[in-house]
């Protein structure tokens, strides 16, 4: 009897994970070609990356690096402009992992033009990862000087995460294997 | 129990003390033989200097072509060393003459460390230090001819000598208890590997990713704890370049630095965007427990790394020892596979391969027992299911091994109904595990691995569907050219990923390959032709799945071969393969000489570990 109850609970959980799944981020990025670094972005330096969105996204990100320096204070001033709308998305540098992507929650709509303005408000120089791949409608400038490469940007969308569904299905099967082998 | 058989504890204790004394003398003597009568010079004469200005107790470079020439009074120079301070990584060079021939060595140093130690190991008179950066401060230039004691080599020799002594004094016991012998050899050799290898990653395949997962298996709200030292180890920029850290002394300076920084920054929280499924992280539990135990006892960061690897290698050793203990036949084949130098290396690294290999080998043993029993033992059946699931969680490609249970005779079950219900559940488990990678592939949400180049899963699927004959030719051509190497090549037997060129170990590879075939063809007979064919069919299915997975995710679209397939993917299937090769005309009992069984893996590993202790910094 208790085995039936456990099975019913597990099946209910499976249905819950199917109809109310957890979320995960699926990402797409600019093509990576001859990935490199921008010259050191010193305090006050400004970088502007423009692009036209190829799809709808929930987050955008770029890859940050700080040469393994221990940075305790300071932030990156990040401003996103689309049309007339401006949004400020600053981030503390001591919470950033070297050679890792930073993602910002910002709804991006397909076909819209965006301009991301990044200003270094950290005493120590930092850098960002770039790609030499040709990205349509994308432009990068550092301190008003145009560059022939772009930031290696990544965009994410929320999608359903069914990992727990698989996990529970396996548990149900193994639990019933045990019951069948022990009982009959 | 072994302890009751070791009658004379005093003998072992005295030998242990003696082995420490002998190995210390040996290593100190060997490593320092050139400088036995040579003194250091902490204040060498500076005979020429340009591009520097005196500042405090040292010199500050004023241009990009600064140099200082020192005169060596001691004739022999083991190391030249100086302290430095600069704002970023920098390059510099050493110039000197050996027997009249000019030698120029270029180096790169990390700004994070503050001292450099470079080997010269020759008789030289004058040494020129060329600095190529302005505002670089150097001080404490000295000729270092001090004794260097490599404790890792001493520990390695002590472990080796005591292991051999224990085996020699209890030969009969170990011949009758192969599982205990395996445990002793595996733990000793894995620990030797761990001690001799550098205390960082980028030594084994993707170990930087495994290390990151092992120290932080559970992350919440997109954040995780990561000290600066952990970050430095994962990024690897400082130590991966051989020009940056090129001596053991510099490695020790690096370890001191990361140990200090770890203590100051271990509660640092960072953003993290990793999306690895939770069930893929369970396999890192032994690493995590070892690492946490080290932290709880407030041990150094580098010691925590050792603990972490050691606990995982213990799990590998125990699983294999259990496989040997439970198996009723072919114990010596399992023994030989467990002590493959490649396996011991993986077991001593941040890798989930050893757990997969050990779990699936133990599962294979349980399957051999299941088919030999008249009636099913539910523990063996459930154990087999759980072990294959455990080994398939990080790599679902091995789940077809569960389908072997479909070929267990229904008569072994209590009744036909039980057999059918059980087999239906097995098929459901396999379908569920396969769905974890097949469904994302079909739905197009799986991306290619950018390390393989211009990859695209969707693009590759379209290519395969529109060019099935072309793809079949690619698959058959790849199989024809690589199948032997993938199962019996050096990649499976003596391969240590990134640490040394595999050509150095050609001799060990040949000896161990011959040894494997010797063990196969002298083992107890295997006259079960039906199951031999079945094992080969399952191996072939898994091989095809691996080829398909790597062609889709790791090979550029339409490429004429399959990229990214490594021999280690097939080591979990090695026991099934080797057992299929055992002749049906052999005797009922094996005719393998126990001395060969022990000596070949032992001598192979002594050669491997000795080379590593000398060549790897």
DSSP of B261-287: HHHHHTT-EEE------GGGTGGGHHH
In whole angstroms, what is the distance from residue A101 CA to residue B35 CA? 50
What are the pLDDT digits (tens) for B268-289? 888 877 766 666 788 899 999 9
- Specify the DSSP element, H or E, that contains B596: helix B594-615
Buried b (16+ CB within 10 A) or exposed e, B528-542: beebbebbeebbeeb
Q: Is A166 in CB contact (< 8 Å) with chain B?
A: yes
In this predicted structure, which of B190-199, B266-275, B429-438 has the lowest mean pLDDT? B266-275
Residues of A in contact with B239 (CB under 8 A): none
Quote the percentage of chain B above a pLDDT of 90: 69
Reply yes or no on whether the pLDDT at B317 is more than 80: yes
pLDDT classification of B80: cutoffs 50, 70, 90: very high
Q: Which of B277, B278, B385 sits opposite A177 (nearest CB)?
A: B385
Q: Does B389 contact A32 at a Cβ distance shorter than 8 Å?
A: no
In this predicted structure, which of B35-44, B350-359, B427-436 has the lowest mean pLDDT? B35-44
What are the pLDDT digits (tens) for A108-125? 999 999 999 999 998 888
Q: Tell me the nearest-neighbour CA distance from A140 into chain B, angstroms.
A: 23
Number of Cβ atoms within 10 Å of the Cβ of B571: 24
Find the residue in B nearest to A178 (Cα): B382
Q: Does A177 contact B445 at a Cβ distance shorter than 8 Å?
A: no
Find the residue in A nearest to B452 (Cα): A32
Q: Which of B271, B275, B417 sits opposite A97 (nearest CB)?
A: B271
In whole angstroms, what is the distance from residue B97 CA to residue B124 CA? 6
What is the average per-residue pLDDT within A45-54? 92
- Note whether A180 and B418 are within 8 A (CB): yes
Angle at B182 between CA B180 and CA B187, to 5 degrees: 100
The ipTM of this complex is 0.84
What are the pLDDT digits (tens) for B326-379? 999 999 999 999 999 999 999 999 999 999 999 999 999 999 999 999 998 999
Residues of A in contact with B273 (CB under 8 A): 25, 61, 100-101, 103
- pLDDT (0 to 100) of residue B2: 59
Q: Is A174 in CB contact (< 8 Å) with chain B?
A: yes
Reply yes or no on whether the pLDDT at B606 is more than 80: yes
Reply yes or no on whether the pLDDT at B612 is more than 70: yes
Q: Does A181 contact B382 at a Cβ distance shorter than 8 Å?
A: yes
Quote the percentage of chain A above a pLDDT of 90: 46
Q: Tell me the nearest-neighbour CA distance from A81 into chain B, angstroms.
A: 24
What is the average per-residue pLDDT within A62-89? 87
What are the pLDDT digits (tens) for A16-32? 999 998 888 888 888 77
What are the pLDDT digits (tens) for B456-472? 788 888 888 899 999 99
Q: Is A182 in CB contact (< 8 Å) with chain B?
A: yes
Find the residue in A nearest to B261 (Cα): A70
Q: Which of B88, B232, B271 to mutate to test the interface with A (most CBs of A within 10 A)?
A: B271
User: Between these two residues, A167 and B534, which has the higher pLDDT value?
Assistant: B534
Both tokens assigned to B269: 């929280």
Q: Does A70 contact B277 at a Cβ distance shorter than 8 Å?
A: no
Q: Does B277 contact A177 at a Cβ distance shorter than 8 Å?
A: no
- The DSSP-derived string for B159-190 is HHHHHHHHHHHTHHHHHH-HHHHHHHHHHHHH
SS3 track for B374-424: CCCCHHHHHHHHHHHHHHHCCCHHHHHHHHHHHHCCHHHCCCHHHHHHHHH
Quote the percentage of chain B above a pLDDT of 70: 95
Find the residue in B nearest to A25 (Cα): B275
Name the one residue in this structure whose structure tokens are 């090979």.
B555
pLDDT classification of B56: cutoffs 50, 70, 90: confident
Q: Does B435 contact A173 at a Cβ distance shorter than 8 Å?
A: no
Q: Which of A68, A104, A165 to mutate to test the interface with B (most CBs of B within 10 A)?
A: A68
Q: Is A170 in CB contact (< 8 Å) with chain B?
A: yes
Q: How far apart are the first and last CA of chain B?
A: 40
User: What's the whole-model pTM score?
Assistant: 0.91
Find the residue in B nearest to A168 (Cα): B432
Name the one residue in this structure whose structure tokens are 């001591």.
A94
Reply yes or no on whether the pLDDT at B175 is more than 90: yes
- pLDDT (0 to 100) of residue B460: 87
Q: Which of B89, B235, B260 to mutate to test the interface with A (most CBs of A within 10 A)?
A: B235
């Amino acid at each position: 009897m208790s085995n039936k109850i456990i099975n019913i609970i597990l099946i209910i959980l499976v249905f819950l994970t199917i109809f109310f799944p957890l979320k995960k981020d699926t990402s797409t990025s600019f093509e990576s070609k001859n990935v490199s670094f921008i010259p050191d972005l010193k305090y006050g330096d400004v970088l502007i990356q423009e692009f036209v969105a190829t799809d709808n996204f929930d987050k955008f990100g770029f890859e940050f690096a700080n040469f393994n320096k221990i940075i305790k204070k300071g932030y990156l001033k990040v401003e996103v402009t689309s049309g007339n709308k401006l949004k400020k998305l600053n981030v503390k540098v001591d919470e950033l992992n070297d050679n890792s992507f930073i993602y910002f929650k910002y709804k991006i709509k397909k076909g819209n033009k965006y301009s991301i303005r990044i200003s270094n408000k950290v005493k120590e120089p930092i850098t960002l990862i770039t790609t030499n791949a040709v990205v349509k409608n994308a432009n990068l400038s550092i301190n008003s000087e145009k560059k022939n490469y772009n930031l290696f940007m990544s965009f994410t969308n929320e999608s359903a995460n069914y990992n727990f569904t698989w996990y529970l299905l396996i548990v149900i099967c193994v639990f019933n294997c045990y019951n069948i082998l022990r009982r009959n | 129990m072994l302890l009751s058989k070791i009658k004379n504890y005093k003998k072992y204790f005295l030998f242990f003390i003696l082995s420490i004394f002998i190995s210390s003398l040996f290593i100190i003597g060997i490593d320092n033989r050139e400088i036995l009568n040579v003194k250091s010079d902490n204040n060498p004469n500076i005979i020429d200097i340009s591009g520097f200005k005196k500042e405090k107790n040292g010199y500050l470079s004023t241009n990009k072509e600064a140099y200082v020439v020192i005169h060596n009074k001691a004739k022999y120079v083991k190391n030249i060393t100086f302290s430095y301070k600069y704002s970023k990584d920098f390059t510099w060079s050493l110039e000197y003459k050996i027997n009249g021939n000019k030698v120029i060595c270029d180096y790169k140093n990390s700004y994070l460390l503050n001292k450099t130690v470079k080997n010269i190991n020759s008789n030289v008179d004058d040494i020129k230090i060329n600095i190529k950066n302005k505002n670089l401060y150097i001080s404490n230039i000295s000729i270092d001819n001090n004794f260097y004691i490599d404790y890792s080599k001493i520990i390695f020799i002590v472990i080796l000598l005591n292991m051999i002594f224990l085996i020699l004094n209890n030969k009969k016991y170990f011949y009758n208890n192969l599982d205990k012998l395996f445990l002793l050899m595996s733990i000793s050799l894995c620990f030797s590997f761990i001690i001799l290898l550098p205390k960082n990653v980028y030594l084994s395949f993707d170990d930087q990713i495994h290390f990151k997962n092992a120290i932080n298996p559970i992350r919440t709200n997109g954040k995780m704890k990561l000290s600066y030292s952990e970050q430095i180890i994962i990024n690897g920029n400082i130590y991966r370049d051989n020009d940056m850290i090129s001596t053991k002394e510099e490695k020790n300076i690096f370890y001191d630095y990361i140990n200090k920084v770890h203590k100051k920054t271990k509660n640092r929280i960072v953003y993290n965007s990793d999306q690895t499924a939770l069930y893929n992280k369970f396999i890192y539990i032994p690493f995590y427990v070892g690492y946490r135990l080290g932290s709880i006892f407030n041990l150094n960061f580098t010691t925590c790394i050792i603990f972490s690897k050691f606990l995982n290698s213990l799990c590998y050793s125990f699983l294999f020892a259990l496989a040997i203990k439970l198996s009723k036949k072919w114990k010596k084949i399992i023994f030989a596979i467990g002590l493959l130098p490649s396996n011991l290396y993986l077991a001593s690294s941040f890798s989930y391969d050893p757990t997969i290999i050990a779990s699936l080998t133990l599962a294979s043993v349980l399957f051999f027992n299941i088919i030999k029993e008249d009636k099913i033992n539910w523990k063996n059946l459930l154990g087999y299911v759980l072990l294959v699931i455990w080994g398939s969680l990080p790599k679902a490609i091995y789940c077809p091994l569960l389908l072997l249970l479909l070929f267990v005779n229904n008569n072994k079950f209590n009744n036909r109904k039980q057999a059918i219900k059980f087999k239906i559940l097995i098929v459901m488990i396999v379908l569920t595990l396969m769905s974890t990678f097949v469904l994302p592939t079909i739905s197009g949400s799986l991306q290619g691995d950018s390390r393989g180049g211009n990859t695209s899963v969707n693009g590759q699927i379209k290519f395969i569907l529109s060019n099935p004959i072309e793809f079949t030719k690619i698959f058959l051509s790849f199989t024809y050219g690589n199948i032997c190497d993938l199962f019996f090549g050096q990649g499976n037997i003596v391969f240590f990923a990134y640490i040394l060129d595999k050509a150095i170990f050609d001799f060990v590879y040949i000896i161990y390959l011959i040894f494997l075939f010797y063990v196969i063809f002298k083992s107890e007979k295997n006259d079960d032709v039906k199951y031999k064919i079945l094992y080969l069919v399952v191996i072939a299915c898994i091989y095809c799945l691996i080829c398909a997975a790597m062609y889709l995710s790791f090979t550029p679209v339409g490429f004429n071969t399959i990229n990214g397939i490594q021999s280690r993917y097939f080591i979990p299937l090695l026991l099934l393969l080797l057992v299929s090769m055992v002749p049906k005309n052999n005797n009922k009992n094996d005719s393998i000489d126990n001395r060969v069984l022990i000596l070949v893996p032992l001598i192979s590993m002594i050669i491997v570990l000795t080379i590593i202790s000398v060549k790897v910094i």
